[in-house]
Amino acid sequence: MSDLPRENVFGHTHKVMLFRSACAALREDRRALRILDVGCGSGYAVTRFLGEQEDEVLGIDLHEPSIAFAKRHFERHGVRFECRSAESIKDSKQKFDVVILADILEHLDEPLEVLKACHALLNDAGLLLVTVPNGLGPFEIESAISRLPVLGHLLLRAAAAFVGVLNRFGPLKGTWTAALAEAPADLPYNAESGHVQFFSCRALRHLMDTAGFDVIDRRNLSFLSGPFTNTLFNPFIALCRLNVKIARTLPAPIVSGWFFKARVSGR
């Protein structure tokens, strides 16, 4: 399995570790797992870090360039990628021990329908693992500011200019260049799929309850994040780790995102 990703302001390493820890707990009762990553994108962020030697991992997404990239770079024995929807998997009568929705529900016009499809896909005692941004948290606030007419564009340019100076001169020279070079230059991203849902913790719990799930655990992911925080601080791993550590001690309404672990109700 690939090494863990470097931490960032979004709590990426923390997120992957929570997914892997939840999967590991299930392996105490079974030899291998069938894991479905819904909306896997290019596989770069989450899917490539999932699965042990005997597990079967399937990543699905409707963005064809992302799936093509995932197949070229991350497909291996036990890890596959397909361009299809969760609903199509449900119709094929397949079952999984773990279904993952990593930062997906906020992009969907009908998140309840996808949650219902995931419900049908889970085995008895299977787990649904979900991460979402806090709809009123620091990430969404920063993102909203960045989209403001004129002002948002000017602030983004100002942050980039400030970082550009630090990156060219002085003790931090090359720091941002090195950080950017860590990601593949040809990594695809579905920029057309923006956020259309802005969840509160309570609203997401209600949605999952309506879909037939019981939430059995919830964790905070990171405190500050967004386009400005990411531009300024992402190269500094120690600050990113501190950002995650601080989030663990804070009330849910003021962090940037959450992790939820759930089971099918009554199982």
- Domains of the chain: residue spans and CATH: 12-137+188-264 (3.40.50.150)
**CA nearest 219: which of 185, 257, 191?**
257
- Residue 190, pLDDT above cutoff 90: no
pLDDT of residue 47: 97
Average pLDDT over residues 80-108: 92
Residue 228 pLDDT level (bands cut at 50, 70, 90): very high
Say what percent of the chain tops pLDDT 70: 99
For helices 151-168 and 138-146, angle between their N-to-C axes, nearest 10 degrees: 100
Tell me, what's the pLDDT at 1? Answer: 45
The residue ranking higher by pLDDT, 4 or 225, is 225
Return the minimum-mean-pLDDT range out of 185-189, 197-201, 205-209: 185-189
Q: How many angstroms separate the CA atoms of 150 and 6, rounded?
A: 33
Please measure the distance between the N-terminal and C-terminal CA atoms of the chain and give it in whole angstroms.
Answer: 31
What pLDDT is stored for residue 189 in this prediction? 85
User: For the residues 30-34, what does the mean pLDDT come to?
Assistant: 90
User: Each residue of 142-174: pLDDT tens digit?
Assistant: 999 999 999 999 999 999 999 999 999 999 999
Work out the pLDDT band at 27, boundaries 50, 70, 90.
confident
| Average pLDDT over all residues of the chain | 94
Question: Residue with structure tokens 């360039």?
Answer: 65
This prediction's pTM: 0.95
Give the HSE-up count for residue 259: Cα atoms under 13 Å, Cβ half-sphere. 25
SS3 of 184-214: the string is CCCCCCCCCCCCCCCCCHHHHHHHHHHCCEE
Does residue 2 surpass a pLDDT of 60? no
